[in-house]
Amino acid sequence: MKENYIKYPEIEKLLKKTKFELGEADKVYLFNNIKESLRKKTVKNVIFSLHPLKIFAYASVFIVVISVFVILFNSTVGVFKKEVSFEVVAGKAFTSSKEIRLGDTLKSGSKIFTRENPLEIKYEGQYFVRIFENTEFNLISRRPDRIVFELISGKAFFDISRQEKYECIVVTPSLEIFIKGTSFYVEVKSFEETKVELIKGNLIIREKKNKETIELKEKEFLTYRGKFEKGVITNQDTSTNILEKKALSSPFKKSSVLSNNVEIQKGIENYSSGKFEDTSEIKKLIKLGEAEVKIVLDDGTLITRKEIIPQGINIINYTVAGDEIYIITENERLLAYSLNGNKLWENSVMGKVSYTSKPVVYQDFIYIATVDNGIKIFDKKGRLVNSINVEDSIVITPWILDKNSIIFVTEKGELVYLDIKNRIFRWKFDLKSSLFYPFVVDKNLLFITTPYKLYCITVDIGNILWQKEINQKLTSEPLMVYRDYLILIGIGEISIYTQNTGELYKTTNVSGNILRAVVEKEKLIIFTENEKIICYSLPDLVKIYEKTADEKINLYFK
């Protein structure tokens, strides 16, 4: 160590000037400190020995380089500025820190855990996902041109609109699924086993381990257990029945087009009279057409009209009753308007309501079934007159038998008859399904469907009168009654069943998915996604006419 500092004469002289006798170790310590100080001074001298113009030139080049980098970075990844957020439209689940419920927003990076309830989410009407019970699911994408879902365990259904410019991927522990507009179901059974069922479109699937790729076509399924095994989907597929998966996509689309995302014109205006002179006839057609358009049912001629609801109100659902319209909004408010455009009242103590649940008007009261506050009952002045706590969420429109009796379906699939006055359950019926559809009561009989069955249940005691297996991919349209018949609206299909026995009476196929159906007198009017209006006779489903809708219809029914 001695020779290290002896090589530097200046340091040696400095050490000799110290007043204290230093040991060899102390000299080495001082040497290292002095050497480091000299090194810093040298660097400092080099920097300041540069000509000022050189410093300016170097600084200018540095600034230009940084500016170019920033511009290029923003142009290539500027899409990150709009972070992807998904809206919860039904069900409930959990993240690592909180509970997720209807109306919540899930941002990129969210880790989702479902328990006994499924969760349904959407993004800008393009991506719809149902996450089934007992599933772990991640949203790991942070940009709208590349959506990445991660299904770690459990089951999920995806309905993705075709997006040529965007990329969407579903990742499982063993597979990568590349999507360009399709509907399909994925189940992760274990780290090594994944099943995929394709309902519509096509998929490219790549295994992570060996990078082998396979294409899946419509109505095919794939099982991966270290290698690909393909097959054709049948309705008897016991592991993942296809009827249940397909039925999920229509409620999503209906919500995004007809409810949450509706942009309403500014101001409140009267309906245009068109060909109608009698205002009572206009009201009747408003009820049937759900207030989107007016329809001349005789020949299918359409009469457009202007909206009466102010701009900026995001609607969950609404009901027209007499001269008034009752509106459930996204921000948990109940609004009332007259059909001539006057706002009557507003109430903000309602709670969260599912997009599949409408206000029910019975006599002088309005019944609202919520997902978090049970059943709320308002009078026609907007005052809360009764509140009934229910343990589980109610997600579809209830049925009011009389002012003291209500029937509803819980999120867990229980059909319940509640005595409001005495606060007791008269009966409960387990539908054995977490997916169900709006029901109807007629002649003291209740009719309800699940993806597998059509039930006829006696209202008084809740007994099954009959039940029938159905082989139909249902939409979210409610069951409709015509005389002694039931009308079921399916995906591209209409079926007529008898009320007495549940036998299939008549069925017909329709080109294009059915978005809305109306029964009037002896006719059934349907609106399809390919912009057609078709009229059938009832109950034999003989086509009376078919015509193309005008632009106003397209706006609401695409």
Rounded to whole angstroms, what are the CA distances from 418 to 88, 384, 397, 405?
28, 19, 14, 6
Q: How distant, in Å, are the alpha carbons of 240, 314, 319, 427, 478 from that of 325?
A: 41, 15, 6, 32, 20
Which of 3-7, 12-16, 78-82, 537-541 is predicted most confidently? 537-541
Residue type, 303: I
Find the range with the poorest average confidence among 50-59, 109-118, 465-474.
50-59
Chain centre distance of CA 427: 32
pLDDT greater than 70 at residue 425: yes
Q: Could you please report the per-residue DSSP string of 347-369?
A: E-------TT---EEETTEEEEE
When mean pLDDT is compared across 168-177, 318-327, 469-478, the lowest value belongs to 469-478
Band (372; pLDDT cuts 50, 70, 90): confident
Q: Looking at this protein, which amino acid is placed at residue 129?
A: V
Q: Is 386 helix (H, G, I), strand (E, B) or coil?
A: strand
Do the Cβ atoms of 194 and 227 come closer than 8 Å? no
- Which residue stretches of 214-360 are H helix? 242-247, 249-255, 279-288
- Show me where the domains of the chain are located: 2-79, 82-240, 253-270+306-509
Residue 61 identity: V
**What number is the average pLDDT over the span 454-471?**
90
Beta carbons within 10 angstroms of residue 300's beta carbon: 17
Q: What is the pLDDT of residue 496?
A: 95
pLDDT band at 482 (very low <50, low <70, confident <90, very high): very high
- How large is the greatest C-alpha to C-alpha distance in the chain, in angstroms? 119
Whether residue 483 has pLDDT greater than 80: yes
What's the chain's average pLDDT? Answer: 73
Q: Please give the backbone phi and psi of residue 255, each rounded to the nearest 5 degrees, phi first.
A: -65, -45
pLDDT at 26: 57
Mean pLDDT of 42-58: 51
Task: Using the predicted structure, report yes or no on whether residue 389 has a pLDDT greater than 90.
Answer: no
Q: In the prediction, which pLDDT does 252 show?
A: 34
More confident residue, 459 or 200: 459
In the prediction, which pLDDT does 435 show?
67
> For residue 143, what pLDDT is reported?
63
Query: Residue 283's pLDDT is what?
Result: 36
pLDDT at 51: 53
Nearest by Cα to 459 from 479, 437, 442, 481 = 442
Q: What mean pLDDT comes out for the span 198-225?
A: 88
Are 406 and 393 in contact by the 8 Å Cβ rule? The answer is no
For residues 247 and 347, the answer to whether their CB atoms sit within 8 Å is: no
Q: Is the CATH number 2.60.120.1440 carried by domain 82-240? A: yes
Q: Which helix (H) or strand (E) holds 55?
A: helix 52-77
* Three-class secondary structure of residue 40 per DSSP: helix
| pLDDT tens sequence across 156-207 | 998 887 665 567 889 999 999 988 778 888 999 888 899 999 888 888 899 9
pTM, two decimals, is: 0.49
What residues contact residue 295 under an 8 Å CB cut-off, 6+ apart? 285, 288, 289, 301, 302, 303, 518, 525, 533
pLDDT 10s digits, 115-151? 877 888 887 667 788 898 889 998 886 566 678 889 9
At residue 377, the pLDDT reads: 92
Average pLDDT over residues 45-64: 56
Please tell me the least confidently modeled range out of 75-79, 325-329, 521-525: 75-79
Q: What is the mean pLDDT of residues 460-477?
A: 83
pLDDT of amino acid 253: 35
Quick one: average pLDDT of 103-124? 82
Task: Find out whether 129 and 120 touch, Cβ atoms under 8 Å.
Answer: yes
pLDDT at 226 over 80: yes
Q: What is the pLDDT of residues 352-362, one digit of tens each?
A: 888 788 899 99
CA dihedral over 304, 305, 311, 313, signed as positive or negative: negative
Q: Name the pLDDT band for 527 (thresholds 50, 70, 90).
A: confident
Q: How far is CA 468 from CA 111, 161, 447, 453, in A?
A: 40, 33, 11, 5
pLDDT at 518: 82
Percent of the chain with pLDDT over 70: 65
Contact between residue 194 and residue 209 where contact means Cβ atoms under 8 Å apart: no
Q: Look at residue 9 and give its three-state secondary structure.
A: helix
Res 359: pLDDT: 93
**What strands, in cross-sheet order, belong to the sheet with 315-321?**
315-321, 324-329, 334-338, 343-347
Dihedral Cα 188, 194, 200, 203, nearest 10 deg: 120
What's the Cα-to-Cα distance from 29 to each of 1, 12, 39, 545, rounded to whole Å? 10, 13, 16, 102
CA dist 393 and 410 (Å) reads 6
Residue 77 has pLDDT above 70, yes or no: no
**Model pLDDT, residue 289:** 35
Average pLDDT of the segment spanning 475-495 = 85
Sign of CA dihedral 254, 315, 324, 403: positive
> Is residue 537 within a helix (H) or strand (E), and if so which, with residue range?
strand 532-537
63: tokens are 């600034």
Q: Average pLDDT of 407-415?
A: 88
Is residue 460 scored above 50 in pLDDT?
yes
Whether residue 249 has pLDDT greater than 50:
no
CATH superfamily of 253-270+306-509: YVTN repeat-like/Quinoprotein amine dehydrogenase (2.130.10.10)
Mean pLDDT of 28-55: 53
- Does the pLDDT at position 327 exceed 70? yes
What is the C-alpha separation between 419 and 425, in angstroms, rounded? 6
417, 460 Cβ separation under 8 angstroms? no
pLDDT of residue 547: 82
Estimate to the nearest angstrom the gap between the alpha carbon of 184 and the chain centroid: 15
- Measured between alpha carbons, how far apart are the two ends of the chain, in Å? 86
Nearest-angstrom CA–CA distance, 14 and 30 = 10
